[in-house]
Amino acid sequence: MPARTGQDYLDGLRAQDREVWLRGERVADVTTHPGLRNGARAIASLYDMQHDPARRDDVTYVSPGSGERLGLSFIIPRTRDDLERRRGMMLNWARSTCGMMGRSPDFMNVNFAAWAAASEHFGEKRPEFGANMRRYYEYISENDLALTHSLINLQRSRTVSGMFNLEEGTALHAVRETDAGIVVSGARILATLGPLSDEIAVYSPRLGRYSEPHSPFALNFAIPCGTPGLKFLCRESFDLGKSHFDHPLGSRFEEMDCVVFFDDVLVPWERVFLYGDVERLNRTAEATHSSVHTAHQGTAKNLAKCELVLGVALLITETLGNAHLPHSEERIGELIMYTELMRACMRAAEADAARDEWGVMCPAQLPAETTRNLFMTAYPRMVEILQLLGSSSFLIAPGEADFHGPLGGHIEQYLATDTSSARDRVKLFRLAWDIAGSAFGNRQVLYERFFASDPLTRARALGAMYPKSEATERVLAFLGRDDDVM
Ligand SMILES: Cc1cc2nc3c(=O)[nH]c(=O)nc-3n(C[C@H](O)[C@H](O)[C@H](O)COP(=O)(O)OP(=O)(O)OC[C@H]3O[C@@H](n4cnc5c(N)ncnc54)[C@H](O)[C@@H]3O)c2cc1C
């Protein structure tokens, strides 16, 4: 089957009966529910790009296996050109959602492309798991499915950090094995895009040792979102049912986050990619390089987000007439720096890409992974800069209806600035508010702080991959010098 259209995607969501709960009620149809439908439409519009004659070649590729045109994020990149084309596609998608849908389907697609290429990692001790991975990748790429994922166990306490916090009764674990598969129970966070996905991938980035040699917590599998016993509990929706004028981002890009409960869920054997093997699970990201590929997807999302915030900041200073103030210039300079750093890391990751042992062209690890850590603090700072530039204007932003109400004339007269009509000013600040003030905007800040794990874990990860001796040896060489010329 070739790459899907938006309608195919929406039909697929409707075809699968799933248990999604929002505000105490089971959602009958995620494509029409007021809190979810616009997010579904936004994802559908990404799929529609695949059938737009002007963009088709930029976002699809011809599968060497089936000869069908498939979504480009499913490609297993073998050359630098593949990698750049794939990033071009991801940037296209990210720009069309202003970088506000971090879990657009390309995120998991690049992950599974890396895993399929490295399927021997999964099949080394259990060859059937390697074959499962290859078949699954073929299935999702040929059917153009959207995946959510849930990596972290819900924690009852913070006595130890998350990956070691394997509390029985809470953390997801295998309850028993049957001829048909593994039965699992427990609770996981935080499946972004959960209600709007076809399938859920479940694994852990790392796991503490629980028991040797076989841990019931060491799992890697993927199942349809409508699998019996699977329940998605949504947070409240940040799509407030307002117009695009009033909430330009929230009314379009609600990707939703869910807690996922597994009540004796049967995972068929053919959907199991790893089971019981803690050591293999802990090595997965490193051995398959999947983390670098998802980091590369993140650079495209981050760049799109930087471009949006920088553009809004520039328009704020033009609209308010404060562009010439030294502290405005300094703040704009900082936003430019983050934007260009992101672009530079993305391009460095491609320029220094190298083929790995699986024959996959991998983005260079350090520039790609650095962007995850950078954005944890850079994005909150970028939002702070918007607030500092906009000040009270964020709150001098009446709704669309006010323009048509009794105070419409006053609004048109008094809210205009030297360079902007009242309507343009308010429209801009409604957008700025959705980045820097609304519930939707604050969720984005939280997302960037935590989606790639907590900051301490990320710092340790970067520290572990950095070639520290290169830095220390240079200093030691200097300390060992006895000449007095620099
Ligand atoms: C908006 C959003 C979307 C997300 N989407 C997804 C998704 O799609 N899929 C997915 O799998 N995950 C997702 N995540 C979850 C993300 O992986 C977790 O939030 C992240 O791993 C951090 O876990 P936590 O929230 O339990 O924080 P915690 O582990 O509680 O960490 C919070 C803080 O406490 C510190 N801390 C905690 N315990 C200790 C300890 N014992 N000692 C010292 N310090 C400690 C941490 O260092 C950190 O600073 C998402 C998160 C957010 C916010």
Per-residue tens of pLDDT for the chain, all 486 residues: 789 999 999 999 999 999 999 999 999 999 999 999 999 999 999 999 999 999 999 999 999 888 899 999 999 999 999 999 999 999 999 999 999 999 999 999 999 999 999 999 999 999 999 999 999 999 999 999 999 999 999 888 777 666 667 776 788 999 999 999 999 999 999 999 999 999 999 998 887 666 666 788 999 999 999 999 999 999 999 999 999 999 999 999 999 999 999 999 999 999 999 999 999 999 999 999 999 999 999 999 999 999 999 999 999 999 999 999 999 999 999 999 999 999 999 999 999 999 999 999 999 999 999 999 999 999 999 999 999 999 999 999 999 999 999 999 999 999 999 999 999 999 999 999 999 999 999 999 999 999 988 899 899 999 999 999 999 999 999 999 888 765
pLDDT for 250? 98
Q: Is 442 in the pocket of ligand 1 (CB under 6 A)?
A: no
- Residues 6 or more apart whose CB falls under 8 angstroms from that of 206 comprise 163, 281, 282
Q: Is 208 in the pocket of ligand 1 (CB under 6 A)?
A: no
Q: Which atom of ligand 1 is nearest to the CA of 165?
A: 41
Q: Is 379 in the pocket of ligand 1 (CB under 6 A)?
A: no
Q: 453 alpha carbon to ligand 1 midpoint, in Å? A: 5
Task: Output the pTM of the full model.
Answer: 0.95
How many Cβ atoms sit within 10 Å of the Cβ of residue 317? Answer: 19
How many Cβ atoms sit within 10 Å of the Cβ of residue 357? Answer: 12
pLDDT for 485? 67
- Which of 236, 234, 229 minimizes the C-alpha distance to 186? 229
Q: Is 147 in the pocket of ligand 1 (CB under 6 A)?
A: no
pLDDT for 212? 62
Q: Is 188 in the pocket of ligand 1 (CB under 6 A)?
A: no
How many Cβ atoms sit within 10 Å of the Cβ of residue 372? Answer: 21
Q: 289 alpha carbon to ligand 1 midpoint, in Å? A: 22
Report the distance separating Cα 43 and Cα 101, nearest Å: 9
Instruction: Please state, in angstroms and as integers, the Cα–Cα distance from residue 337 to each residue in 89, 272, 332, 334, following that order.
Output: 24, 44, 9, 5
Q: Is 34 in the pocket of ligand 1 (CB under 6 A)?
A: no
Instruction: Please state, in angstroms and as integers, the Cα–Cα distance from residue 319 to each residue in 389, 401, 417, 418, following that order.
Output: 11, 22, 7, 8
**In the sheet where 147-150 sits, what is the strand order?**
147-150, 199-202, 219-224, 272-275
Instruction: Name which residue sits closest to atom 4 of ligand 1, judged by CA.
Output: 451
Q: Is 286 exposed, middle or buried (0-12, 13-18, 19+ CB in 10 A)?
A: middle
Instruction: Name which residue sits closest to atom 30 of ligand 1, judged by CA.
Output: 158
Q: Is 227 in the pocket of ligand 1 (CB under 6 A)?
A: no
Q: In this structure, what token pair is assigned to residue 68? A: 């069908």
C-alpha 172: how far from chain center: 22
Q: 449 alpha carbon to ligand 1 midpoint, in Å? A: 9
- Choose the residue to mutate in 100, 450, 460 for probing ligand 1, maximizing ligand atoms within 8 Å of C-beta: 450
Report the distance separating Cα 170 and Cα 23, nearest Å: 23
Q: 137 alpha carbon to ligand 1 midpoint, in Å? A: 28
Report the distance separating Cα 295 and Cα 150, nearest Å: 17
Percent helix, strand, coil in the chain, to 5, is 50, 15, 35
At residue 229, the 3 state secondary structure works out as: coil
Q: Which atom of ligand 1 is nearest to the CA of 456?
A: 47
Instruction: Name which residue sits closest to atom 40 of ligand 1, judged by CA.
Output: 161
Q: Which atom of ligand 1 is nearest to the CA of 443?
A: 1
Q: 461 alpha carbon to ligand 1 midpoint, in Å? A: 15
